[in-house]
Structure 1
Amino acid sequence: MSLAAIQSRIDAACAAAGRSPAEITLIAVSKVQPADRVTAVLDAGHRIFGENRVQEAQGKWPAWMETYAGVELHLLGPLQSNKVRPAVELFHAIHSVDRLKLARRIADIGQEVGRTPDLFLQVNTGAEPQKAGVAPDEVDAFVRDVRALDLPVAGLMCIPPADADPGPHFDMLADMAARNGLSGLSMGMSADFETAIAKGATHIRVGSAIFGARETAG
């Protein structure tokens, strides 16, 4: 477990970018990690975690949240309409809102249960056909439409193409957020979070660099 090493790298990246580490939310991506690795990070005092699947999170986090006070859970993976209710009930933020139908469902369930997670709208900055997210030229309209549902739009999220320089994609996301008056930028993972911090990230999603490589059986 190298939580302290990651925090040191965040501090250094912030210093290089003239930013405060307090501006960065480190999301420890705990999907398919063995329980002992996750509890080690919890025992070290970290409280902000990310999961990709609602069902997996339901199976492990309620018990941990009873044991460890102050846990904040972020949904990073795609959200199906039939999983919206448990997602709204369990997660503090959803980073993968990518269609208006889903936003409407979140709004409806949020009204029913009396709470709505913070929402990050996912942008497919690389226009990759196999990847979720709204097209870059549709972002402004999508932000407007989701806001019209009286939902808490915290910011934008992207996952740059695996073989591309992430910098231009992070710049694109930052420009889109700025022109829409959004302060949240969920961007940067284990391999590129320092670049993301230099480009203005507010939320970075780090898994293997904290926990070690995920077990292939997961």
Structure 2
Amino acid sequence: MAASSPASTAPSTPEDLSRRLAGIRARMTAAAGAVGRDPASVTLTAVSKTQPPEAIEAALAAGLRVFGENRVQEAQGRWTEFRPRLPDLELRLIGPLQSNKAVDAVALFDVIETLDREKLVGALAAAQDKVGRRPRVLVQVNTGEEEQKAGVAPRDADALIASARAAGLDVQGLMAIPPADEEPVLHFALLAKIAARNDLRVLSMGMSGDYEAAIRLGATHVRVGSALFGERKADPALF
């Protein structure tokens, strides 16, 4: 996943974004239909991290309400003004979460997709008690076991899921980011297998370059940034 710094290199005017969104939705519908799925069973998460205000306004004007952010502090600054007037807004944390940011994350996000270690289980459970809010949680699985990437190893996923449930977290599914240089469908299939044996129904997998394949393998949420907002420069500091 790209990180913060420059935003889109292609202006996301309302017209540009609406055109891109229509194309994405058409491909999502076709991918779901190809495997007999209802297109409505797949949610588009607009990856809004690093985007300028005008791009966010264009996305909201196009009817998008589900957004993914990488950093807690950036999201706080971006979404505070929108929260009161958008009761249907859903914010999803899709970047790594430091334990010392757990309280802020629980207070802001509706879904935390990046639970990946035991220490964070305890931090989120304590944050829930302090804030009085219980966001939905996904366990991030490092399907490629890449050293530079966050996520629990596949062999340890079941234990982390069980621990999170025991701690009172609302664990609803799994998230993964396949290695950039490997066939993503193998990783999507692995994630779906782990989800099935743990009775988890939510699969956040698939990004701008592979969301159609992810949908065919059972994704319930796809995270789309550059295909929607335009290409951005990558920041190697993240993932």
TM over 0.5: yes
The aligned runs of 1:186-197 (5 Å cut-off) are 186-197=204-215
1:42 is aligned to 60
**Of 177, 180, 193, the match for 1:162:** 180
63-72 or 92-101, which deviates more = 63-72
Whichever residue aligns with residue 122 of structure 2, its letter is R
Whichever residue aligns with residue 79 of structure 2, its letter is W
**Of 112, 130, 135, the match for 2:130:** 112
Name the CA distance, whole Å, in 2 between partners of 1:44 and 1:66: 19
2:74 is aligned to 56
The aligned runs of 1:1-218 (5 Å cut-off) are 1=17, 2-214=20-232
Q: Cα deviation per residue 1:37-88 (whole Å; 9 max; x = unaligned)?
A: 1110101111000000001001110102234331100000000011111110
Task: Report the RMSD for the aligned CA atoms in angstroms.
Answer: 1.3
Name the CA distance, whole Å, in 1 between partners of 2:162 and 2:234: 40
Moved over 4 A (4+): none
Q: How many residues align?
A: 217
Whichever residue aligns with residue 166 of structure 2, its letter is A
Does the CA-based 8 Å contact 2:113-2:137 persist in structure 1?
yes
Name the CA distance, whole Å, in 1 between partners of 2:87 and 2:173: 26
Whichever residue aligns with residue 83 of structure 1, its letter is K
2:5 is aligned to none
The 3-state SS of whatever aligns with 1:63 is: coil
Which structure ranks higher in relative contact order (CA pairs < 8 Å, sequence separation ≥ 6)?
2
Distance 1:55-1:189 versus aligned 2 partners, 3 A rule: same
Name the CA distance, whole Å, in 1 between partners of 2:43 and 2:163: 27
TM-score by length of 1: 0.96
Does the CA-based 8 Å contact 1:52-1:76 persist in structure 2?
yes
| % same residue | 55
Deviation at 1:111, TM superposition (A): 1.2
Q: Cα deviation per residue 1:104-124 (whole Å; 9 max; x = unaligned)?
A: 111111012111111000111
Structure 2 residues without counterparts, runs of 5 or longer: 1-16
Does the CA-based 8 Å contact 1:33-1:214 persist in structure 2?
no
